[in-house]
Amino acid sequence: MIEQIKLSIKEKLEAYYKEKYNFELAIVVESPKKAEMGDISIPMFTVVKALRKPMPEVVNEAIEEIKSFDLPINSISNAGAFINLFVDKAKLSAKIIKDCVTLEDEFGKSNIGEGKTVVLDYSSPNIAKSFSVGHLRSTMIGNSLKLILQKCGYHTVAINYLGDWGTQFGKMIVAIEKWGDIEVIKKDPINELASLYVRVNNEEKEHPEIAEEAREAFRKIELGEPKYVEMWKWIREESLKESEQIYDLLGVSFDSYNGEAFYNDKMDSVVNELEEKKILEEDQGAMVVRLSDDIPPALIKRSDGGTLYITRDLAAVFYRKKEYNFEKAFYVVGGEQKLHFNQLKGVLTKMGYKDLADSIIHVNFGMVLKDGKKMSTRKGNVVKLYDILMQAIDAAYKQIEEKNPNMENKNEIAVKVGCGAVVFNDLKNYRALDYEFDINAMVKFEGQTGPYLQYTGVRIASILRDKEFDINNIDPNLFEKPHYFEIVKQISSFRMTVEKAAEEASPSVVAKYLLSLASSFNKFYSLEKINAEDVVVRNTNFALAKSVRIVLNEGLRLLGINYLEEM
C-alpha cells in the first residue's frame, strides 16, 4: 500500500518542477536501504543537478513541498541528498478503507487500458459437434478476462468465433439423409443431432466412402445450393441452442457471433496478397507458406482448392483489425493449438505485419482430467457439459439444504453456488495447468472453493444486515493491529492485483487473492467481536468488514461468479 503513496509523491513532485521551473524530471521514489531510516526515500541528486542550486536549498524546498501534499506522512527528514519519510500507517489505512466504503463497486478501478481495445476470441464451439470441456474452459477464462480488462478501463470486444464451417456439416447432412427422421429430430434436435453425429463417425470407419459423400455435401453448401444452405443454417441454429443453455447458466455473453462461415467470402483477398507477395508456394498440389525451420509450413489451400482453419483465421484477424482497431487480440484456446497460433503469427510476419503478429496473444490453457485421463465429451461416451453443470447444482443444493433448510429460493441459489463452484475451480490455478474434475470437492463450503468465498461474503452480509455505521467516526489506530492491518494491506492491493491479472491474462491472480483475503477475514472474525460495545471500535470493525465484502463481491464478479446475500 506504500506503493500508492510513492506513486503520488513522484507524480506530485514531477508536476511541481514542471510547473515552477519547466523541467521534465524523473523523480526516483524508493525504499530506503535500512528500515529504520523510513518507509520511503527520495534521492535528490538529479534535481540538484537540474536546478543548479545548493543541495540543502533544493532538499528543503522539496521537503516543504511534500509537507503540503495531502498524504498520510508521519515525519520527514533528510540525510544528505536523501529525503526520508515515515508513512502514518493508521491514517493511510483509514483513507483506504474510507475510499473503499464510499466507492463501493468502483473501488479498484484502473485506467491502464483507457483508450485501448482488446478483442477476445473465446468459447468458439464447433457446431454439430458437442460442446467440449475445452470450450467450457475457454468460455469461463474468456469471460473473466473480459471483465478484468473492463475493470482496467479497456474497451473489449467479445467474439464467439463459431466453428460453423467445414466438412462436419457435410457429415451431418449425410447422416440426416441416411438415417434421420426430420420429425424425430425436430422434437429433440440437440440430442438427436449429437447421436447422428456419433453414428456417422462410427459408420465412416467401416464405410470410408462416407467421407467422400460428406465432402460432396459440404461442397454444395459452399456453392450455395439453397437446399443445402437451408440445412446448414438449421443445424447451426439448433446446435447453437446447446451452447446457449450453458451461456445462460454461466451468465456469459458476446458482442459478436461471427464464426468461420462469416469469412467464407473474405479469404480471397488474403490468398491474393500472399500470392502477390510471392510467399505462397506449391507443394504436391496444395498451397503453403514456408516458415522458419522450427515450424512446419502453413497449409493455406488444399489440393482440391478447399481452404483451411488457418486461412479463415488470417481473414478474421485482418477483418477484426480493420473493424475494431485493437491493441491486442486474445485467443482463449487450448494448448494443443500452440502450433496453429505460431503459424498464424509466422504467416503474418512473413507478410510484413510484424506488429499485428505481436499483438496476437494465444491465451492457452491445460486439460481437464477425470481420474487422470483427459475428460472427453466426444466419441459416443457423450458426457454432456450441461449435465455436468446440473450435477454441480444438485450437489450445491444438497449442501444448502443441510445448512439452511428453511431458506427461500433454494433453487436459484443452488444454481449460483453450483456454477460458481465449477467456475472458481477452473480459474483458481494458473490456466496452463491441467486439473482434475471433482464435483464433490469443488462445491464444498470449506477449502479453496467458490462456495467458500460466497459463504464468507454471506457471513459479512449477515453481520452488517440492518446495521448503520459512521465512517467518519472510526479509530485509525486500530488498523495498526496485525489482524486489522493484514486486511487493510490486501484491500489496498486490489487494484494492482486486477492490473496484474490483466497483464498476465490470468484470472487465477484474482482468484488466489480472494482466497487469501477471505482467510484473513475469517481469522479476524475469530479474534475480534465485530459488533463491539464501543461505538468507535464497532464503526471501525464494520467499515473493515464492509470493505472486505465490497472487494469479495467485486472480485467474484470479475471471475464471472455471482455473490449472494444468503446461502
Q: Which of 333, 458, 552, 556 binds ligand ARG (CB under 6 A)?
A: 333
Site string for ligand ARG, 278-317 (x = CB under 6 A): -----------------------------------x----
- Taking the complex as a whole, the smallest distance from the CB of residue 490 to ligand ARG amounts, in Å, to 36
Q: Which stretch binds ligand ARG (CB under 6 A): 35-43, 120-128, 286-294, 500-508?
A: 120-128
Site size for ligand ARG, by CB under 6 A? 8
Q: 126 or 399: whose CB is closer to ligand ARG? A: 126
CB 102 within 8 A of CB 471: yes
- Taking the complex as a whole, the smallest distance from the CB of residue 480 to ligand ARG amounts, in Å, to 51
169 lies in the site for ligand ARG, by CB under 6 A: no
Report which residue's Cβ sits closest to ligand ARG. 163
121 lies in the site for ligand ARG, by CB under 6 A: yes
The one-letter code for the residue type at 48 is V
Q: 333 or 357: whose CB is closer to ligand ARG? A: 333
Among 456, 451, 454, 518, residue whose Cα is nearest residue 486: 518
Q: Which helix (H) or strand (E) holds 512?
A: helix 508-527
- What are the DSSP E strand ranges found in 277-354? 281-283, 286-289, 298-301, 328-332
CB 556 within 8 A of CB 563: yes
Task: Please tell me the distance from the alpha carbon of residue 463 to that of residue 287, in angstroms, as a whole number.
Answer: 67
124 lies in the site for ligand ARG, by CB under 6 A: yes
- Taking the complex as a whole, the smallest distance from the CB of residue 125 to ligand ARG amounts, in Å, to 6
Task: Please tell me the distance from the alpha carbon of residue 292 to that of residue 448, in angstroms, as a whole number.
Answer: 44
- Taking the complex as a whole, the smallest distance from the CB of residue 311 to ligand ARG amounts, in Å, to 11
Indicate the SS3 state at residue 474: coil
Among 469, 427, 453, residue whose Cα is nearest residue 522: 453
CB 46 within 8 A of CB 55: no
- Classify the C-alpha dihedral 318-320-321-326 as positive or negative: negative
- Taking the complex as a whole, the smallest distance from the CB of residue 333 to ligand ARG amounts, in Å, to 5
- Taking the complex as a whole, the smallest distance from the CB of residue 520 to ligand ARG amounts, in Å, to 39
Number of Cβ within a 10 Å radius of residue 220: 17
Task: Please tell me the distance from the alpha carbon of residue 260 to that of residue 300, in angstroms, as a whole number.
Answer: 15
161 lies in the site for ligand ARG, by CB under 6 A: yes
- Taking the complex as a whole, the smallest distance from the CB of residue 121 to ligand ARG amounts, in Å, to 5
Q: Which stretch binds ligand ARG (CB under 6 A): 118-126, 171-179, 441-449, 556-564?
A: 118-126
- Taking the complex as a whole, the smallest distance from the CB of residue 468 to ligand ARG amounts, in Å, to 51
Task: Please tell me the distance from the alpha carbon of residue 181 to that of residue 418, in angstroms, as a whole number.
Answer: 37
**Torsion angle of alpha carbons 180, 186, 187, 188, nearest 10°?**
70
- What are the DSSP E strand ranges found in 141-227? 155-159
Q: Which stretch binds ligand ARG (CB under 6 A): 121-129, 283-291, 390-398, 414-422?
A: 121-129
Q: 164 or 426: whose CB is closer to ligand ARG? A: 164
- Classify the C-alpha dihedral 549-554-559-562 as positive or negative: positive
Q: 88 or 121: whose CB is closer to ligand ARG? A: 121
- Taking the complex as a whole, the smallest distance from the CB of residue 415 to ligand ARG amounts, in Å, to 26
Residues in contact with ligand ARG by CB under 6 A are 121, 124, 126, 161, 163, 313, 331, 333
